[in-house]
Structures are given as C-alpha cells and as structure tokens.
C-alpha cells in the first residue's frame, strides 16, 4: 500500500477551512436575521403604541370667557389659531389620533338663575349654521358644554382650511366636578367661590375603534 506523503496530509488539514468559513457565514446570517426581526417588532410596537398623548389646556387666566357666556373672546381665538391648532395637528399625527375631546370645566360659583334652553336648542346651535350664542345656561353643566361646543365649532371652521384632516371633534362638559389635578371637587363648606384655576377648556386625545355592545 502506498504511503501518504506529508504533503498530502498537509493539504487534507487545510480542507477544514472552507467548512469553518461556511459555519461562520451561516452564523452571521442568522444573527442578522434575528436582529432584523427584533428591530421590526420594536418598530411595529412604536407605531401601534407610541405612548400617552399630552393633555392640552386653554386656561381661563390667559383667555377668559365673560361670566356666564360662551362667546369666545379675541385673545382665545388668537390662541386657538396660532397655538392650539398646530399642537392638535402635531399630536394627532404623532400618536395616530382620530378623535379630539373638548371638555368644558367651570368653577363652583352658581350660574345666575335662568331657564336653560339647551334641551330644545342644543342640536340647532351645534349645526353648521347654528350659533352657541342662542343658548342659555341654567347650570354650570350647561355652561361647560356651551363653551366646549363653541371651541369645537371654531375648530371645525379651521378644519375646512385643510387643517387637522381626518380628525373628529366632540364637545363635553365636566361642569365644576373635576379639579385641575383630576380629583373630584369637595362639597363647598361655605359660599361657593369664583376660582379662575378651575375654569378651563381641556383638550384630550383618543382613538376610537369599533363600538361593541357589552352583553
């Protein structure tokens, strides 16, 4: 039998390198694939759950309604156009929002005794040709809703200028019930007071999905 030369043994020793190279290449490809999957999952998670959107405020001390009125003052109109609308546009895009809730808050001071006409006139006032000025508040709940509706109608006008596209607006009232810190207001111990910090318009962002009946 012919002997294997040292030269042939050396060549056979070198043959392990192609296999080792293939192993390292495959391991590198697997590592890249795992990294790609992890990055994709993280990106999808960011898109589907970008975090909690901020709560915006129109503070009464900066832009004040007249007592018992829902007519938007000039200073508030300027704030809505120059500050609030750009903030709404950027927030709805950043957080994938389709609905903006406008909530009217009042202080604990009673509204002057007057008969409310919201039950009969609210829908007409909210319509495109209607005016909030035709409404009469009989309570702080009425007044909060009238003020939030006035802001909503102003935002809808601005939306016709190709701004805040695809966003729906909803008007709500919290009356004097919710304090600025989110707690329920306590029962007044003495005379109900006027307090500017409690009077505010709150702008909250949400994304509404399909309505499902709870059974």
35 shares its domain with 87: no
Whether residue 135 sits in one domain with residue 174: yes
Is pTM, for the whole model, over 0.85?
no
Would you state the pLDDT for residue 198? 94
Burial of 149 from C-beta contacts in 10 A (0-12 / 13-18 / 19+): buried
Looking at the structure, tell me whether residues 132 and 97 fall in a common domain: yes
Residues 29 and 99 in one domain: no
Q: Who's near 205: CB < 8 A, 6+ residues apart?
A: 53, 54, 91, 92, 95, 97, 99, 100, 101
Domain hosting 27: range is 8-46
Segment 141-192, tens digit of pLDDT: 999 999 999 999 999 999 999 999 999 999 999 999 999 999 999 999 888 9
Q: Are 42 and 61 in a shared domain?
A: no
Tell me how many domains the chain contains.
2
On whether residue 98 sits in a domain, the answer given is yes
Are residues 150 and 86 both part of a single domain? yes
pLDDT tens readout for residues 1-50: 555 555 555 555 555 656 656 666 766 777 777 666 655 444 444 445 56
**CATH assignment of the domain containing 190:** 3.30.1330.60
Residues 83, 16, single domain; the answer is: no
Residues 16, 104 within the same domain = no
């Amino acid at each position: 039998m012919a002997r294997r030369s040292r030269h042939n043994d050396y060549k056979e020793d070198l043959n392990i390198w192609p296999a080792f190279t293939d192993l390292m290449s495959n391991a590198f490809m697997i590592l890249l694939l795992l990294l790609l999957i992890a990055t994709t999952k993280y990106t999808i998670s960011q898109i589907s759950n970008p975090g909690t959107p901020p709560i915006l405020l129109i503070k009464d001390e900066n832009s004040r309604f007249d007592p018992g009125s829902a007519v938007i003052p000039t200073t508030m109109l300027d704030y809505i156009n120059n500050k609030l609308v750009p903030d709404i546009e950027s927030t709805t895009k950043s957080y994938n929002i389709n609905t903006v809730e406008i909530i009217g808050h009042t202080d604990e001071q009673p509204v002057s005794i007057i008969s409310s006409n919201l039950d009969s006139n609210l829908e007409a006032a909210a319509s495109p040709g209607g005016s909030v000025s035709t409404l009469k508040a009989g309570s702080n709940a009425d007044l909060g809703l009238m003020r939030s509706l006035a802001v909503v109608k102003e935002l809808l006008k601005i939306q016709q200028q190709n701004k805040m596209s695809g966003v729906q607006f909803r008007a709500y009232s919290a009356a004097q019930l919710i304090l600025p810190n989110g707690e329920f207001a306590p029962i007044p111990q003495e005379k109900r007071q006027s307090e500017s910090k409690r009077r505010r318009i709150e702008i909250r962002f949400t994304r509404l999905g399909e309505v499902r009946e709870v059974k």
